[in-house]
Chain A
Amino acid sequence: MPRFKNIRLAVKLVFLVLLVLGVLLLATVILLNRNTNRLTEEIGSEQASQEVNLIENRLAEVERQLLVDINFFASSVPFFQAVGRRDAEDVTELVERTNASLGLDDIDVVDGDGNRLYDLHVEKDLEAENTILASGLSSITSTTLIVEQDGGSIEISMVAVAPVVSVTGNVLGAVQISRRLDNAFLDDLVFNRQVVHLGLIYQDQILARTLESYRTNDASQKVLYKGIAYDPASVLQAANSNQSIVQADLIDNDSSVPNAVAYIPVLTTANTSPVVIMLLLELQEIHSFQNSTLLNTVIVFAILTFIALVVIYFTLYQIIVRPIGNLTAIAQGMTGGQYARRAPADGQDEVGQLAKAFNEMAGAIEQREISLQGAREQAENANRIKSQFLANMSHELRTPLNAILNFTAFVADGVMGPVNQEQSDALSQSISSGKHLLSLINDILDLTKIEAGLMDLFIQPVDMNEVLGSIVSVGKGLVKDKPVDLIHDIQPNLPTTYGDKRRLRQVFLNVVSNAVKFTVKGNVTINARFEDGNFLIIVKDTGVGIPKEDHNLVFESFKQAKHDLPETTGTGLGMPISRYFVESHNGKIWFESVVGQGTTFNVILPLLSEAEANQIAQALGAKS
Chain B
Amino acid sequence: MSAKTPSILYIEDSLASRNLMQIMIRDVMRFEQFAMLEDTANLTEHIEALGLPFDLILLDLDIQPIDGYQACQLLKASPQWKDTRIIALTASAFVAEMRKMQEAGFDGALSKPISYIDFPQKILSILNGERIWEIE
Chain A interface residues (CB < 8 Å from chain B): 387, 390-391, 394-395, 397-403, 405-407, 409-410, 413, 415-416, 438, 442, 445, 449, 454, 456-458, 500, 502
Task: Report the separation of the CA atoms of residues A335 and B135 in the bound assembly, to the nearest whole angstrom.
Answer: 44
The residue that A438 contacts in the complex, of B98, B113, B116, B135, with Cβ under 8 A, is: B113
Within 8 A of A (CB), among B77-122: 90-98, 112-117
CB pair B136 A391 closer than 8 Å: no
Task: Report the separation of the CA atoms of residues A483 and B67 in the bound assembly, to the nearest whole angstrom.
Answer: 51
Main secondary structure of the interface of A (DSSP, over half): helix
CB pair A415 B14 closer than 8 Å: no
Is residue B41 contacting chain A, with contact meaning CB distance below 8 A? no
CB pair B116 A403 closer than 8 Å: no
Chain A hits for B17, CB < 8 A? 399, 402-403
CB pair B116 A398 closer than 8 Å: no
Give the shortest distance, in Å, between A472 (CB) and chain B (any CB): 17
Give the shortest distance, in Å, between B100 (CB) and chain A (any CB): 12
Task: Report the separation of the CA atoms of residues A400 and B20 in the bound assembly, to the nearest whole angstrom.
Answer: 11
The residue that A415 contacts in the complex, of B28, B117, B135, with Cβ under 8 A, is: B28
Contact with A along B1-26 (1 / 0, CB 8 A): 00000000000001011001001100
CB pair A456 B20 closer than 8 Å: no
Chain B hits for A449, CB < 8 A? 93
Is residue B27 contacting chain A, with contact meaning CB distance below 8 A? yes
Chain B hits for A390, CB < 8 A? 93-94
Give the shortest distance, in Å, between A50 (CB) and chain B (any CB): 114
Is residue B39 contacting chain A, with contact meaning CB distance below 8 A? no
Give the shortest distance, in Å, between A440 (CB) and chain B (any CB): 13
Chain B hits for A410, CB < 8 A? 23, 27-28, 116
Is residue B62 contacting chain A, with contact meaning CB distance below 8 A? yes
Q: List 16 A-B contacts (CB under 8 A).
A: A390-B94, A391-B92, A391-B94, A394-B93, A395-B62, A398-B91, A399-B14, A401-B113, A402-B20, A406-B20, A407-B20, A410-B27, A442-B93, A454-B94, A458-B135, A502-B134
Question: Are A415 and B23 also in contact (CB < 8 A) when A405-B113, A438-B113 are?
Answer: yes
Chain B interface residues (CB < 8 Å from chain A): 14, 16-17, 20, 23-24, 27-28, 62, 90-98, 112-117, 133-136
Task: Report the separation of the CA atoms of residues A184 and B136 in the bound assembly, to the nearest whole angstrom.
Answer: 137
Task: Report the separation of the CA atoms of residues A400 and B15 in the bound assembly, to the nearest whole angstrom.
Answer: 11
CB pair B116 A391 closer than 8 Å: no
Closest to B96 in A: A456
Task: Report the separation of the CA atoms of residues A296 and B16 in the bound assembly, to the nearest whole angstrom.
Answer: 112
Task: Report the separation of the CA atoms of residues A284 and B113 in the bound assembly, to the nearest whole angstrom.
Answer: 122
Task: Report the separation of the CA atoms of residues A438 and B62 in the bound assembly, to the nearest whole angstrom.
Answer: 20
Chain A hits for B23, CB < 8 A? 407, 410, 415-416
Chain B hits for A416, CB < 8 A? 23
The residue that A406 contacts in the complex, of B97, B98, B114, with Cβ under 8 A, is: B114
Give the shortest distance, in Å, between B14 (CB) and chain A (any CB): 6
Closest to A501 in B: B133
Task: Report the separation of the CA atoms of residues A405 and B24 in the bound assembly, to the nearest whole angstrom.
Answer: 12
A-B pairs with lowest CB-CB distance, top 7? A402-B113, A409-B116, A456-B95, A398-B91, A403-B16, A394-B93, A395-B91
CB pair B95 A394 closer than 8 Å: no
CB pair A402 B91 closer than 8 Å: yes
CB pair A394 B92 closer than 8 Å: yes
